[in-house]
Amino acid sequence: MKKISIYLLLLVFVLGSCTKLDQEFYNQVTPETFLQNEKDILAALNRPFTHARWYVGEDRWYLQEQTADNFAITTKGPHWYNGGENERFHYHAWTPDENWIWGSWRGTLMGIALALDARRDLEKLDYTKFALTTEDQQAHINQLNTLIAYFYMRGLDFFGGLPIFNSLEGESLPRNTDKEVFAHIEQLLKTAIEKLPKKEKLGEREIGELKQAAAAAMLAELYFNAEVYIGRPMYQECQQLSQDIIEGKYGAYQLDPTWYGPHSFKNDLSPEIIWSIPSEFNKLQYDWFYSSFYHYNSREYFGQDMGANNGTHLTPSRRPDGTLYQNQWKLGSPFEKFDNADLRKKPYRYLGNGNYEGMFLAGAQLKPDGGVIKGTQEYKDMPLVLRDQVGRFSEIGPDKKYSSAEQLPSKMSEGEENTGVRLVKVPIPPLTENSLRWGADNPIIRLTEIYYMLAECKWRAGDIGGCRSDQYCQKAQFC
């Protein structure tokens, strides 16, 4: 009875307390009621950027790279045929119904819509009520305008004309022409450049914010590709913008003194990063590529516990008989085109304390302690050796399908578990230093790209001598 009495008293106390609360009910959620402080404002601003984090990888990366000259997903025994999808992209025989295409179309328009939604909410606010300025508001709004332009530019590159919309009203909008989309992107970027913040200090930490140089770099890229997009060469405009970016008009940037700086665990401090997507272990991590790039047992190479599905690899540099493809074609053969003295061509090795060397998995695969890594399929219980070739080498021998490597076909359907060199663009630490895992941010725009665009613009203008002697072009190593 004493227990029941105590519970009843507590219930009366709670109910009595609740009746004294001042409550205000809303029949709708508006920016003015939902966004209550600076933290809420930044959350609304950053939501479209989380979509951009997803957008820059996966389907979009596959569309760009699996249809080009440096990567392939070969069929490996019973795996990766995927209904012929990988072959259709590699051989340029895709259809409008492919998943990567649908995912990219949907992802592009979703990114635009999310940015427009955030922009609409932030435009309605009185920033002074949050101890912020109208300049802060303009910077936020124009970050979103720049992000909208980025999505439209990627969409223009993939699909040509897209529906142009400036609000979320209406349905089934018609596609605008390539020229109209180009003009829309150009206007968004021109307007944003003057109202975005500028990076004043060289090497200042990047946190994913879009600044003046990012918008200027996007505009330079738009002009660089104008001849393809709208049939009008605009290399001179691209050249001027590129020159201005390099000379610091839009902020303080310079090339990183090391090859790995823009990709390392501390690449948020690299002086050449113009825009990157932040990444941290278990926090919007930059990791989408891992499962596709690496062999099932590559975890043993890295000293990690992460599984992979053994899909993507570099296109082969050599035929099954060992001769080079590059004697026949100018494109492809990415691994062999690296000079043997190039530091990047070394096998990837983690050296400890966040340091590493090389960026490829090639040849015999060994554990960090030197132990042999073994295969799981064609080379089950045998040493795993990654080949810069495509062919069913396991089917060579007495009483087998082929008597020599010269007889092996080399095409998308003829891969094995050890087919292809693997790229380690993003450093991967062992479990003993797992706090660094996915600590490298995803660089979207680097100053290196600006040097390359400037060099090609000079080259296209016929200024070969000037290109070769120009300090900027020499840094780009283009001419």
Q: Same structural domain for residues 204 and 333?
A: no
Strand partners, 445: 275
CATH number of 58's domain: 1.25.40.390
- Does 445 fall in a domain? no
Q: Same structural domain for residues 80 and 166?
A: yes
Q: Same structural domain for residues 255 and 321?
A: no
Q: Which of 111, 196, 189 is nearest to 155 (CA)?
A: 111
62 and 100 in contact (C-beta within 8 Å)?
A: yes
Q: Which of 292, 290, 269 is nearest to 203 (CA)?
A: 269
Residue at which a domain ends, from 248, 277, 306? 277
Task: Domain count for the chain, please give it.
Answer: 2
Q: Same structural domain for residues 381 and 342?
A: yes
| Amino acid 471: pLDDT | 61
Q: Same structural domain for residues 132 and 263?
A: yes
Q: Same structural domain for residues 67 and 134?
A: yes
Q: What is the pLDDT of residues 12-62, one digit of tens each?
A: 333 444 444 454 544 454 566 668 899 999 999 999 999 999 999 999 999
Q: In which band, very low, low, confident or very high, does the pLDDT at 3 lie, cut at 50, 70 and 90?
A: very low
Tokens representing 327 are: 């004697």
- Does 18 fall in a domain? no
Q: Same structural domain for residues 246 and 130?
A: yes
- Does 2 fall in a domain? no
Tokens representing 59 are: 């389907």
| Residue 71: its H or E element | strand 71-72
Residue 393 has pLDDT above 90, yes or no: yes
Contact partners, residue 240, CB within 8 Å, separation at least 6 = none
Q: Which of 226, 222, 285, 274 is nearest to 250 (CA)?
A: 274
- Report d(CA 131, CA 134) in Å as an integer: 10
Q: Same structural domain for residues 309 and 408?
A: yes
Give, as one character, the DSSP assignment of residue 280: B
- Does 295 fall in a domain? yes
Tokens representing 410 are: 């080399």
Residue 478 has pLDDT above 50, yes or no: no
Q: Same structural domain for residues 185 and 303?
A: no
Average pLDDT over the chain reads 91
Owning domain of residue 322: 287-437
Q: Same structural domain for residues 293 and 271?
A: no
Cα-based distances in Å from 287 to 54, 123, 307, 444: 10, 34, 12, 15
Residue at which a domain ends, from 230, 248, 277? 277
- Does 20 fall in a domain? no
Q: In which band, very low, low, confident or very high, does the pLDDT at 462 lie, cut at 50, 70 and 90?
A: confident
Q: Same structural domain for residues 266 and 320?
A: no
* Backbone CA torsion sign across 214, 215, 219, 220: negative
| Amino acid 25: pLDDT | 42
- Amino acid letter for position 136: D
Give the mean model confidence (pLDDT) for residues 313-317.
Answer: 97
Give, as one character, the DSSP assignment of residue 466: H
- Does 388 fall in a domain? yes
Q: In which band, very low, low, confident or very high, does the pLDDT at 139 lie, cut at 50, 70 and 90?
A: very high
Ramachandran region, residue 370 (left: φ > 0; alpha: ψ -120 to 50; beta: rest): left
Name the E strands within 316-394. 349-352, 355-357, 360-361, 363-364, 385-386
- Does 468 fall in a domain? no
Residue 352: count other Cβ atoms within 10 Å of its Cβ. 11
Residue at which a domain ends, from 245, 277, 309? 277
Cα-based distances in Å from 335 to 14, 108, 228, 361: 71, 32, 29, 11
- Does 308 fall in a domain? yes
Q: Same structural domain for residues 40 and 130?
A: yes
Q: What is the pLDDT of residues 185-241, one digit of tens each?
A: 999 999 999 999 999 999 999 999 999 999 999 999 999 999 999 999 999 999 999
| Amino acid 170: pLDDT | 77
For the chain, state the CA radius of gyration.
27
Tokens representing 317 are: 């540099």
